[in-house]
Amino acid sequence: MRMKEFLALLIAMAMILPAWAGRHKDDGPVVAAYVTGWNEQDELPDCSVLTHINYAFGVVNKTYDGVNIQHPERLRQLVELKKDHDVYIVLSIGGWTAGGFSEMASTHRRRRAFARDCKRIVMDYHLDGIDIDWEYPSSSEAGISSSPTDIDNFTLLMRELRKALGKDYLLSCATIADARFVNFKAIEPYVDLVNIMMYDVGNPPYHHAALYRSDMSGRVTAQEAVQAHLDAGIPANKLVLGVPFYGRSVKGFGDTAYGALVGRSDVVRMWDDVAKAPYLADSEGRMVCTYEDAESLAWKCKFIKLAGMRGAMYWEYRCDDKAGTLRHAVWNGIMGTE
């Protein structure tokens, strides 16, 4: 092929592929939101306070060799946002109780087929990458099948995904707070980001997302979770700290989405200054709900920046209040100069 013909072909290909179809990954700060497809009537996210959207979810298909996208039209709605906003759109595959990973990752043929299907989806939907949310390799805690070989197979899966996606598309994974179930040193060459799910580690009378250790902190704190991941082999500039936009409560408390909590007058906000965590107490001073607010998120963002981490992510976008109090707190905390 002559050079002139080759250039003409490149121009034609550029005209076919939308300019917003895919972005080269960068090393800038991350403010990521998990956005679900469970209700296609949910509002579209405010991209002015986001760098990344992780769409939840895709799942391993029944033949263990590809991906089924839950509510694909919702994903297409999100991708349309890229026309007017500088935001990455990533498909998150998995979630709590989402199985099929152990079977899929158990053979080279299935891993390769799965990775190739991920690449197909990235191209077909004009996505920017894939996020693997296997909860958790070698564990059946979420009611899914597991095998002692899962941890090694997870490494092989991430290698296969990186091979299929190439160097320009994002590959991330969501991990348990205390850094179990993954060989992090082995997967580090393949992943761009590791999203630490630093929540659900306690119920009242303990915090579920404390920053520091106090008498009221749950199983692990954010400080301990980050250190566990560093010790396991992931550098700080690949770590993203997950924060919850919901609480955990005593039985019968009701809706724990932040947007529902702020309107309650039957409880009192309390503050644990050691853990840097708020909680709601009843008339007798007992913790009835552990949650996050703008003050605790500001402390966490300071910690993220001081630790040299990549940024923050949250589950999930629709739990915020109408004013966007929490999402603005995260954005200002990560992107601000304070």
Residue with the two structure tokens 């500088």: 86
Establish if 273 belongs to a structural domain: no
Establish if 136 belongs to a structural domain: yes
pTM for this model (two decimals): 0.93
67 forms bridges with which residues in the sheet?
60
Structure tokens of 71? Answer: 């509510």
pLDDT at residue 22, as a whole number:
60
176 forms bridges with which residues in the sheet?
197
Establish if 322 belongs to a structural domain: yes
Pick from 332, 286, 290, 284: which is nearest to 312 by CA? 332
Establish if 225 belongs to a structural domain: yes
pLDDT digits (tens, 9 = 90+) for 279-294: 999 999 999 999 999 9
The answer, yes or no, to whether residue 126 has pLDDT greater than 50, is yes
Relative to beta strand 239-244, strand 311-315 is parallel
DSSP 305: H
Residue span of the structural domain in which 324 resides: 16-245+293-335
Establish if 46 belongs to a structural domain: yes
Q: How many CB atoms lie within 10 A of CB 318?
A: 17
Establish if 109 belongs to a structural domain: yes
Establish if 268 belongs to a structural domain: no
Name 285's Cβ contacts closer than 8 Å, sequence gap at least 6: 270
Residue 43 — very low, low, confident or very high, per pLDDT cuts 50/70/90? confident
Pick from 69, 64, 166, 76: which is nearest to 105 by CA? 64
Establish if 11 belongs to a structural domain: no
The answer, yes or no, to whether residue 19 has pLDDT greater than 90, is no
pLDDT digits (tens, 9 = 90+) for 224-253: 999 999 999 999 999 999 999 999 999 999
| Domain harbouring 56, CATH code | 3.20.20.80
Q: DSSP H helical segments within 233-338, as ranges?
A: 258-261, 294-306, 325-335
Q: State how many domains the chain has.
A: 1
Across the range 267-278, mean pLDDT stands at: 98
The answer, yes or no, to whether residue 4 has pLDDT greater than 90, is no
